[in-house]
Amino acid sequence: MLSLPLLALAIASFGIGTTEFVIMGLLPDVAHSLGVSVPQAGLLVSGYAMGVAVGAPIVAVATARFPRKSALLALMAIFIIGNIACALAPTYTSLMVARVLTAFAHGSFFGIGAVVARDLAPRNKRTQAVALLIGGLTLANMLGVPLGTALGQVAGWRAAFWAVTGIGVIAAGAIAIFVPSGLAGARNGLASEFRALAQWRVLMPMLISATSSVSLFAVFTYITPLLETVSGLTLGQVTFALLLFGFGLTAGNIIGGPFADRNLTGTVKTILCCIIAVLAIFAFTCHAAIPAVLTIMVWGALAFALGAPLQIWVVEAASDAPNLASILNQGAFNFGNAIGAAVGGFAINAGVHYAQLPWLGAGVAVVALALTLMAQSGAKQMMAQRPAE
């Protein structure tokens, strides 16, 4: 199943995932270096995510007519420039601007990359192909984030961004060599593509993507201070915990694809139910080091088992506008990322203890489950009405 074009895309997604998430392991260092509080530093996560959410439709329009390979290379150029700017940023404000610039490449890359991965795969393995693309993102959490965190703690947080810049250069070269050149961009007008998206069957899975992301990032954004202050882990142990979390993400992403190829909405429902249960358990296990680490590994597996199923759900639902739908779903996911990080920060500033954040994440996951049930019910009603039309 793994081909050289998919490998090239996975390398790029590894770099993108590392630059998005490595800041979480370095929040205390960044906050101290730039003279801001940890919740303020956490807004760098929100800023990146909002950059994806806002940038996704803008970049989607700008690259709509580009051949897909050309679009991917242009996005990698933005990614490389943005990470250089992060590494050189002298102030909190300049780092925020650089993060937002970098984020403009994120949503469109995963959106276009998902369509390319789907088109290169047999129909019965499309979700698995998208999972391989997202596999680079999960591997970033398994290896890139822990190693970047360790590098940042030893050589300063800026060194992590220089390392990611190097990964971006390698990924751009791999895409230039291995991704086929004959993949055209959008064939329909943008107006018709946007009209194709304005349907509940497309918008609902996007809303589920956003809500599930809020659930994840309301907790995960603050996982380092949570593990330090509640679970009693040292910085070195937090790095190991993030490594296990990344292992969980990778395993979940691999497992989720084959199940979703057989039963898409059923897989999404089951995973969300499990996420709710595991976050409720984490509210208790977070008070002890070993149970906390084991719980977040399972939570990570469940959280990223949702990624490929939700992405393919949106792309298949928007068959007349797959590029745009795929890109905007990435924007929806990262809008949820931004909201989740901000909600978690507001809760902490309001006096909510780190140990209570898992309950917040579980509550939002309940909303995502309710939306999934509504979407499934609506689809059944439409199918029942078709013979009468």
CATH value at residue 296? 1.20.1250.20
- Nearest CA among 36, 6, 81, 28 for reference residue 226: 28
Let me know the angle formed at the C-alpha of 142 by 362 and 117, rounded to the nearest 5 degrees.
Answer: 90
> Which pTM value belongs to this model?
0.74
- Report how many domains make up the chain: 1
What sign does the CA torsion over 49, 193, 125, 382 have? positive
Q: Please state, for a pLDDT cut of 70, what percent of the chain lies above it.
A: 89
pLDDT at 79: 93
The tokens 């997202």 sit on which residue? 134
Angstrom distance (rounded) from CA 322 to CA 141: 27
Flag whether pLDDT at 162 surpasses 80: yes
Segments forming the whole domain that contains residue 79: 4-388
Angstrom distance (rounded) from CA 107 to CA 161: 19
- Nearest CA among 373, 142, 108 for reference residue 254: 142
Report the pLDDT averaged over residues 31-53: 82
The tokens 């509940």 sit on which residue? 200
Angstrom distance (rounded) from CA 251 to CA 257: 11
Report the pLDDT averaged over residues 221-237: 88
Flag whether pLDDT at 71 surpasses 60: yes
